A = this chain, B = another copy of it.
Amino acid sequence: MQRNALVSAVALAAAVTGLMSLTGTAQAQDSYHWKMVTSWPKNFPGVGQGPERLAKLVDEMSDGRLTIDVYGAGQLVPGFEVFDAVSEGTAEMGHSASYYWKGKVPAAQFFAAVPFGMNAQEMNAWLQYGGGMDLWNEVYEPFGVEVMVAGASGVQMGGWYNKEINSVADLEGLKMRMPGLGGEVMNRMGVAIVNMPGGEIFTSLQSGAIDATEWIGPYNDLAFGLYQAADYYYYPGWHEPTVMFEAIVNQQAMESLPADLQAILRSAVADVNQSVLDEYTARNNDALKTLVEEHDVVLKRFPDDVLAKAKELSAQVVSELAASDPMAKKIYDSYSTFQDKVENYHAISEQAYYNARNPEGDTTQD
């Protein structure tokens, strides 16, 4: 090649490269800009960190080809309208919990929290290797929504009470805020269930409008200041052995993505599923210490008779839900078969190990 020809070739290559960076992005690698609506206040501690992390991971992995704006509850749609917004395509995706949709899909409650049901480790195993995830998608499919599991709270706390509970009789006549299936169980033990948004809990408890409330666990409960409004903090949260959170995606939006971006989105959700539980597990430790050591909160285990009665009534409430429609029955069968087996296995592994390591259980009050 002569010198002039070489110069021309270099110049042409430079021109092509320059043009490529302008036109190439649009053609070979389309960009996508999504909205994610959530049921949590923007940047809410714990679960609210999940969607932020998700958006960041997807941005990094896709080199900016898929970017996601995260909206707190009420910023684009109210927290309880996340499912509809995703179903209708107002937002491409959402982060929430499936029990909020029980009015529309009663069977969905099995995927969020079941009283005396499975904990986070067990739920993840059932969802990924026990058929649970397929059932969850089957439930949402008619709404044009794809679902992925996207975080766990771990075993929650039993709640804050303004008096000691020494027997089932002590529950009778209490006014309590407890949503979902657990609330129905409490109701059958004589508790009047009051529903209210998170933002009203503190004032209602302090004013005496309610006598008790459950919220989440030490980390979120400390942030809410609930220890200032009630003296007794009960455990364990039999009504919510975990809440599993969900990432939901409009099916058409998902299908519009090329295969690599779909895979990136799924993997980012899996990462967040783990990290939300990790954060709760880590932060709850310190928050519990602060509650007990600095705020003199009295930590109490529910008496045996309350736990036994709650377990009996939970089985009743859950089987009534299963009887309510065929899809709920199908999920219940899968769920309870898996739980029977994993309970046996965890009895000799996780449970037996906890009890061997710490035979005395709770020693925080000693």
- Please state if A307 and B361 are interface contacts (CB–CB under 8 Å): no
Nearest-neighbour CB distance to chain B for A253, whole angstroms, equals 18
- Please state if B361 and A344 are interface contacts (CB–CB under 8 Å): no
A60 close to chain B: CB less than 8 A: yes
Q: How far is the CA of A274 from the CA of B363 in the complex (A)?
A: 31
Q: How far is the CA of A284 from the CA of B130 in the complex (A)?
A: 12
A88 close to chain B: CB less than 8 A: no
Q: How far is the CA of A259 from the CA of B60 in the complex (A)?
A: 7
Known: A350-B154, A350-B354. A275 touches B128 (CB 8 A): yes
Nearest-neighbour CB distance to chain B for A273, whole angstroms, equals 6
- Please state if A345 and B285 are interface contacts (CB–CB under 8 Å): yes
- Please state if A23 and B20 are interface contacts (CB–CB under 8 Å): yes
- Please state if A357 and B238 are interface contacts (CB–CB under 8 Å): yes
Nearest-neighbour CB distance to chain B for A279, whole angstroms, equals 5
A157 close to chain B: CB less than 8 A: yes
- Please state if B274 and A124 are interface contacts (CB–CB under 8 Å): yes
Q: Which of A16-33 contact B (CB under 8 A)?
A: 16-17, 19-21, 23-24, 27-28
A50 close to chain B: CB less than 8 A: no
A324 close to chain B: CB less than 8 A: no
Q: What are 25 of the A-B contact pairs (CB < 8 Å)? A: A20-B23, A20-B27, A24-B24, A24-B28, A60-B263, A63-B258, A121-B277, A128-B282, A129-B283, A154-B350, A155-B349, A217-B349, A218-B345, A235-B349, A236-B356, A267-B268, A270-B274, A289-B341, A301-B348, A301-B352, A302-B356, A311-B357, A347-B363, A350-B354, A352-B362
Nearest-neighbour CB distance to chain B for A209, whole angstroms, equals 27
Nearest to A241 among chain B residues (CB) is B353
Nearest to A117 among chain B residues (CB) is B357
| Mask of A304-339 contacts with B, CB within 8 angstroms, 1/0 | 000100010000000000000000000000000010
A184 close to chain B: CB less than 8 A: no
Q: How far is the CA of A218 from the CA of B344 in the complex (A)?
A: 12
- Please state if B57 and A263 are interface contacts (CB–CB under 8 Å): yes
- Please state if B13 and A16 are interface contacts (CB–CB under 8 Å): no
- A121 CB contact (under 8 Å) in B121, B260, B286, B289: B121
- Please state if A281 and B122 are interface contacts (CB–CB under 8 Å): yes
Known: A20-B23, A235-B352, A263-B57. A343 touches B357 (CB 8 A): yes
A34 close to chain B: CB less than 8 A: no
A351 close to chain B: CB less than 8 A: yes
- Please state if A155 and B288 are interface contacts (CB–CB under 8 Å): no
- Please state if B13 and A20 are interface contacts (CB–CB under 8 Å): no
| Mask of A54-66 contacts with B, CB within 8 angstroms, 1/0 | 0001001111000
Known: A57-B267, A288-B344. A282 touches B353 (CB 8 A): no
| Mask of A248-282 contacts with B, CB within 8 angstroms, 1/0 | 00000000001110011001101101110111011
- Please state if A289 and B344 are interface contacts (CB–CB under 8 Å): yes
A119 close to chain B: CB less than 8 A: yes
A135 close to chain B: CB less than 8 A: no
- Please state if B351 and A361 are interface contacts (CB–CB under 8 Å): yes
Nearest to A120 among chain B residues (CB) is B121
- Please state if A260 and B129 are interface contacts (CB–CB under 8 Å): no
Nearest-neighbour CB distance to chain B for A266, whole angstroms, equals 8
Nearest-neighbour CB distance to chain B for A91, whole angstroms, equals 23
A126 close to chain B: CB less than 8 A: yes
A48 surroundings in chain B (CB, below 8 A): none
Nearest-neighbour CB distance to chain B for A63, whole angstroms, equals 4
Nearest-neighbour CB distance to chain B for A246, whole angstroms, equals 16
